[in-house]
Amino acid sequence: MTAHREPSGSAAHRSTVRSLLRLAPFVRPARGRLLMGMAVALVASSMSLVVPLALKQIVDGPIAARDPSGVWLGGLAILVLGLLEAGLIGLRRLLLAQPLAEVEAAMRSALYRHLQRLPVSFHDRWPSGQLLSRATTDLMLLRIFLAFVLTFLTVNGLTICIGFVILLLQQWTLGLVLLAPVVPLVVLCHYFEERYSLAARTAQDQVGDLTTVVEESVLGIRVTKGFGRHRAQERAFAALSARLRTTELHKAGLLGALWALIMILPELAIGAALVLGVRQVADGALTAGALVAFLSTALALRWPVESMGFLLAVANESATATERYFEVLDVPVPGAGAEPRAAGPVPDTAAPGPRGTPGAAIPAVRTAVDGGRGRPGAGATLVGRAAADGGLRLERVVFRYPDAPPGSPPVLDGVDLHVRPGETMALVGATGSGKTTLTALVPRLHEATSGRITLDGRDITAMPRERLRELVSMAFEEPTLFSASAGENVLMGAADAQEAELERALAVARADGFVAALPQGHRTQVGEQGLSLSGGQRQRLALARAVIGSPRFLVLDDPLSALDVHTEALVERALREVLATTTALVVAHRPSTVLLADRVALLSGGRIAAVGTHHQLLRTNEEYAALMTGPLPGRPAEGDAPR
């Protein structure tokens, strides 16, 4: 699996500070506690700079005067300073723990919420492991940055500045010696920053790739074992692990070289200052206490200086984590924040009511349908304005996948289709003809490239998505269940449904029998992806989820494909009652499913090639007859049809 890469250029061409500043809106609610924590940490760090001044007084006072009682008093002062520093460090942790945990939680919630709103085409392009690593590893790194690195980058920087001011005030000539490595250190940090940033971004992307492989291996464990592909999966995992290990070793090498140089140059400066200071004490230009205080202050600055390499490295990793996080958050949600396109009021006869209440036009229109489904003439007599403008209508709809090669033909090319109010339309076509894609356009899981789709005369792009998905319910060919109970999976179709409605939906899908046989009935957990159930059982629960809310419009993508003949007949019998009170578009591959419909639409070449009843198309359309009865001589089978 190849990780998603944004075309924004390498990490070496971006500003670490600019990237990290994007965290400001999330950090703003915690800024008071964060500033208090920094202030407390600065005071604690300053304690280490006060200790050398106390040592100077001890050396030049009691020790020089040979007064033991004065030494004990100075030692007690140093002990108090140490205890105060430890207490302040603990206070800093208490101040920062809760607000920064809330910042991390807010960022994770924002990412999850945004992922739920992004179109299906986004999820088609992005590996799940890349998204998972951004929501877990990257956000954990950002919390560490805010809680520790940001604080100590600020505090250690201020401590170094204060310390050097004290050194220059104590002995300016020796202070200048210690300042000598500053320029080369700045140059080295800039040199390593660019290379470390690029290595950090590469490692984080590779972690996402590795996460994707692990997730796919777990979810596809039955396929892996069934085909004996575990060794191939192990080799793929080992190859990705080796790539990640190489990148991490490269990072460690860069960090090790930087840290070594940051330690060596100050040590050399301290050594030079020690030699010069001893000579000044020997010449009488400097007291022994002043030299001890100067060297103690210099040594107290060792940790702030040496830690800068590690802190800068983590800051660079945090900057790349921030970029990866906002790569997802910056993806625009189609239609978000935009005013719906103007659309005239929906006529009362076609106005949809709340979910669970069919529009007022349905009963009148339904009585105009010639009795019986699948018979010639069924649905032929639909009258009134609701029949003309209502229902589901697709007008010159074109769809091309966003990542399709330039110049490639669209999947759908000028589709015109009208499903009348209260009518059930079967959608038939060869494999790869775009049936599933067409059904995904109705609830706007994909956005049509051009053309118009209306529900009861109202353009779906003029509706809030929440309202649209209250009106339209779907059952997909691949039934997806979640790690929840059987009942909770069904109730995802109508969260406010009551127990009676749940039981009715299970009965319609003929799932009530096997659900009642589960250890805890509909409260039984079905496990991840519902893999504890059979394919047919999962499909029946998905169908129950689609019908529980008595939706105004129902879109079913081959909902009975995994059922045996006996169960299929039972489900069809109950499904007829549901279809009698809704407007439905049903993708069908088998004659038994087609017979549920009033009319049939044949999708071929990206267009609607024919519309009629099942029996009419059998008599008049050769392609339809081939799909329903098998390939005619000289014609390819359905599975051989071009995509």
pTM: 0.66
CA dihedral 357, 358, 360, 364 (to 10 degrees): -140
Asked if the structure places residue 529 within a domain, the reply is no
372, 309: one domain: no
What residue type is 226 in one-letter code? G
155, 287: one domain: yes
Asked if the structure places residue 6 within a domain, the reply is no
Q: What is residue 556's three-state secondary structure?
A: strand
Q: Is the Cβ–Cβ distance between 527 and 483 less than 8 Å?
A: yes
The pLDDT of residue 333 is 80
Asked if the structure places residue 366 within a domain, the reply is yes
Asked if the structure places residue 547 within a domain, the reply is no
Residue range of the domain that includes 141: 11-329
51, 150: one domain: yes
402, 264: one domain: no
365, 324: one domain: no
Number of independent structural domains in the chain: 2
- What CATH number does the domain containing 102 carry? 1.20.1560.10
- Bridge-based pairing state of the strands 583-587 and 553-557: parallel
**Domain edge (last residue) among 278, 310, 329:** 329
The pLDDT of residue 392 is 92
pLDDT in tens, 410-421: 899 899 999 999
Q: Is the Cβ–Cβ distance between 380 and 439 less than 8 Å?
A: no
Low-confidence ranges of the chain (pLDDT < 50): 1-13, 337-386, 632-643
88, 17: one domain: yes
287, 161: one domain: yes
- What CATH number does the domain containing 436 carry? 3.40.50.300
> Cα separation of 208 and 3, whole Å?
7
Residue 165 has a CB neighbour count (10 Å cut-off) of: 12
φ, ψ of residue 367 in degrees (nearest 5)? -70, -15
What residue type is 613 in one-letter code? T
> Cα separation of 131 and 231, whole Å?
26
CA dihedral 622, 628, 631, 632 (to 10 degrees): -40
Asked if the structure places residue 501 within a domain, the reply is no
Asked if the structure places residue 466 within a domain, the reply is yes
The pLDDT of residue 225 is 67
The pLDDT of residue 58 is 67
The pLDDT of residue 396 is 93
Inter-axis angle of helices 230-283 and 172-179, nearest 10: 160
296, 152: one domain: yes
403, 311: one domain: no
Asked if the structure places residue 498 within a domain, the reply is no
> Cα separation of 302 and 48, whole Å?
11
> Cα separation of 269 and 181, whole Å?
7
Asked if the structure places residue 227 within a domain, the reply is yes
**Domain edge (last residue) among 305, 329, 353:** 329
381, 315: one domain: no
The pLDDT of residue 551 is 84
422, 293: one domain: no
The pLDDT of residue 326 is 93
Residue 544 has a CB neighbour count (10 Å cut-off) of: 29
Q: What is residue 190's three-state secondary structure?
A: helix
DSSP 130: H
> Cα separation of 208 and 206, whole Å?
5
373, 304: one domain: no
DSSP 63: I
Rg (alpha carbons) of the chain, rounded to whole number? 35
The residue whose two tokens read 């990257």 is 138
